[in-house]
Amino acid sequence: MTELGATAGAGADETGPPLIAMHGITKVFGSLVANDHIDLAIRAGEIHALLGENGAGKSTLVKILYGLLEPTEGEIRWRGEPVRLAGPQEARSLGIGMVFQHFSLFENLTVAENIAAAMPPDLSLAEVAAKARDVSGQYGLSVDLDRPVWTLSAGERQRIEIIRCLLQDPRLIVLDEPTSVLTPQEADRLFVTLERLAASGCAILYISHRLEEVRRLCSSATILRAGRVVATIDPRAVSAREIAGLMVGTALHDVVAGRGAAEGAPRLVVRGLSLASEKAHGQALRDIELAVRAGEVLGIAGVAGNGQGELFAALSGERLAHGPDVVAIDGKPVGHLGVTERRRLGAAFVPEERLGHGAVPDHRLAENTLLSRHGTGGLVSRGFVLADATRALATRIIETFDVRKEGADPRARTLSGGNLQKFVVGREILREPGVLVVNQPTWGVDAGAAALIRQALVDLARSGSAVLIISQDLDELFEMADRIAVIHAGELSAPEATGDLTRETVGLLMTGAAAPKGTVHAH
């Protein structure tokens, strides 16, 4: 373990035992050691970061801390006393609060009901609502308690989680990737709230992979890699690059972007695409216009739930547009054609969800090659599956994209997120598609895999394909995209060259606060 800098926070209480101390925490799932003898201590008033790649064991550790998982080995001490957390109720009664990454909310219930669901059962709904009103006033977290959750934005939803947490009068708040669904402006508001909480003596465990945030907010950080603690540091005293090195274990290469062809022919064109959502509380698309040219990467930024899934479905042909001309691939109208026909015209698609959408979890990799390639030749003959051909293709994908796996042809669900994503993206790129639409290419993927995927996408564009990337990760878009547009409430802003944009302007567009479409180009 390396010690870089001192572990001391500004408002931290330096005397006595730490508020919470985890000693030698180990968690084993089957043959996987998710946490391997982890030590972690947090003092009151301290904002402590838990850093690590996807798959490093952060989520497992916080689930243990919140009583959702039982550690296989190890001890938790609360104010010096050993405790056994049998469930979230016990964690909450000690004073541990949790803000989940994938919010633990109930879409069809009102805000007040959502808050009440986590409160002791002897309180009436009215009492819960009154308390919630107090807390939201006290911390400036405004939400309408009577609205159903499905009508709320990601930022508002997070506020509910935080209020729910604060109502328990917590001594320690755990936030799991809290800014991943927020705009930069919303994130700033969150930081203010967290700093106020810390100043009042509350300890905060802040989980993130965004190093700049951590360096700005946190006074100490524990870094995990492959289930082990590799360092405990003062993030303000260490550069982001050094921290990244500790997280990943090897030096990372930046994506070599190069400039995209400015005047390539448009290969994917969308004109006046409007589409009602088929989900109960989905986002309708409104009059979307876009064109992706040969050789360029077009990025679409936006907060989750603003129509990204619907846009992907309409572009891929999973849902059909209203007329043939609404979507065109290489000049051919395809709005009325399904996924397979669009693939035959040279398009390829990578959906957001790997397991269950981009791959069938319980199917082997060879079978999963069929999923998107059964209609484009080579794998099926007269209705019969050519098993050897699927195996050969799987092997080619695995070798070309460095997919790490156990066994000759494992089931998709046994792969790590990063490796499965490499397989899914590789399956499409190996076809050398003329148009590639990718939704959240590196969501929940480790840094090494993310770098490989991004480079492959950029290389594909440079070879003359049109690449459309829908992503919530602004860093990723600024790194790869030649132009960026923003989707908000089902509307798409006009794309701008990446060089002309700042994170702030994109952030404003993501909240819908900026001028509506069209006026951007008016000057």
Partner 1 sequence: MRIELQQRQAPSAIARLLAPVLALAAAFLLGGVVVAAMGRSPLAALDVYVLQPLSDPWALQEMVVKATPLVLIAVGLSFCFRANLWNIGAEGQFVVGAICGSTVALATHGTEAGAWVLPAMLLLGTLGGMAWASVPAFLRARFGVSEILTSLMLVYVAELILDYLVRGPWRDPKGFNFPQSVTFDEAATLPFLTDGGRLHVGILMALVAVVVAFVVMGHTIFGYRLRVTGEAPRAARFSGFSEPRTTFIVFAISGGLAGLAGIVEVAGQIGQLKPSISPGYGFTAIIVAFLGRLNPFGILLAGLVMALTFIGGEAAQITLRLPFDLTRTFQGILLFCVLGADALVTYRVRLVRGAPAQAAGRAA
Partner 2 sequence: MSIVEAILLTIVTASTPLLIAALGELVTERSGVLNLGVEGMMAMGAACGFAGAILFDSTLLGVLCGILAGGLTAALFAFAVLGLAANQVASGLALTIFGLGLSGLIGAPFIGARRDPITHLHIPGLTDLPLVGRLFFGQDAFVYASLLLCLGVGWFLFRTRKGLLLRAVGENQTSAHSLGLPVLRVRLLAILFGGACAGLAGAYLSLVYTRFWSPGMTSGRGWIAVALVVFAAWRPDWALFGAYLFGAATVLQLHAQAAAIGIPSQALSALPYLATIVALVVLSLGRRRDTGAPGSLGAPFVPDR
Footprint of partner 1 on this chain (CB under 8 A)?
30-31, 67, 70, 86-90, 93, 120-122, 316-318, 338-341, 343, 349, 351, 353, 356-363, 367, 370-372, 374-375, 380, 383-385, 387, 411, 414
Q: How far is the CB of 2 from partner 1 (least distance, A)?
A: 34
Least separation in angstroms between CB 253 and partner 2: 35
The amino acid occupying position 172 is: L
Q: Which is nearer to partner 1, 9 or 227 (CB)?
A: 227
Q: What are phi and psi of 469, to 5 degrees?
A: -120, 120
55 binds partner 2 (CB under 8 A): no
Q: How far is CA 76 from CA 19, 449, 474, in A?
A: 11, 34, 37
- Among partner 2, partner 1, none, the one that 147 touches (CB under a kind-dependent 5 to 8 A) is none
CA-based nearest residue to 106, from 75, 150, 167, 136: 150
**Nearest to partner 2 of 108, 138 (CB atom):** 108
Q: From partner 1, partner 2, none, which one binds at residue 107 (CB under 5 to 8 Å depending on kind)? A: partner 2
Amino acid present at 300: I
Query: Which one-letter amino acid corresponds to residue 165?
Result: C
For residues 493, 158, 64, 415, the Cα torsion angle rounded to the nearest 10 degrees is -20
**Rounded distance between C-alpha atoms, residue 9 and residue 439, angstroms:** 39
69 binding partner 2? (CB under 8 A): yes
Instruction: Say which entry of partner 2, partner 1, none residue 491 contacts (CB below 5 to 8 A, set by partner kind).
Output: none
Closest CA to 204 of 195, 216, 213: 195
Q: Scanning residues 242 to 281, which ones bind partner 2 (CB under 8 A)?
A: 277-281
Q: Of the two residues 118 and 298, which places its CB atom closer to partner 2 in the complex?
A: 118
- Stretch 311-350: interaction string toward partner 2, x if CB under 8 A: ----------------------------------------
| Contacting range for partner 2; rule: CB under 8 A; set: 18-26, 84-92, 262-270, 410-418 | 84-92
Nearest alpha carbon to residue 238 among 253, 266, 218: 218
- Partner touching 109 among partner 2, partner 1, none, CB below 5 to 8 Å by kind: partner 2
Beta strand segments in 19-68, E: 20-29, 32-42, 47-52
Task: Region of 169 please: left (phi>0), alpha (psi -120 to 50) or beta.
Answer: left
- 3-state SS of the chain: helix, strand, coil percent to 5? 35, 25, 40
What CA–CA distance (Å, rounded) separates 418 from 269? 30
Smallest separation (angstroms) from partner 2 to the CB of 87: 5
User: Which of partner 1, partner 2, none sits in contact with 370, Cβ below 5 to 8 A by type?
Assistant: partner 1
- Residue among 2, 30, 81, 121 that touches partner 2 (CB under 8 A): 121
- Strands ordered across the beta sheet of 327-329: 285-293, 266-275, 327-329, 332-333
By CB under 8 A, name the one of 67, 97, 155, 507 that touches partner 2.
67
The single-letter DSSP state of residue 110 is B
Footprint on this chain of partner 2 (rule: CB under 8 A): 29, 63, 67-70, 87-89, 91-92, 98, 100, 102-109, 113, 116-118, 121, 123-125, 277-281
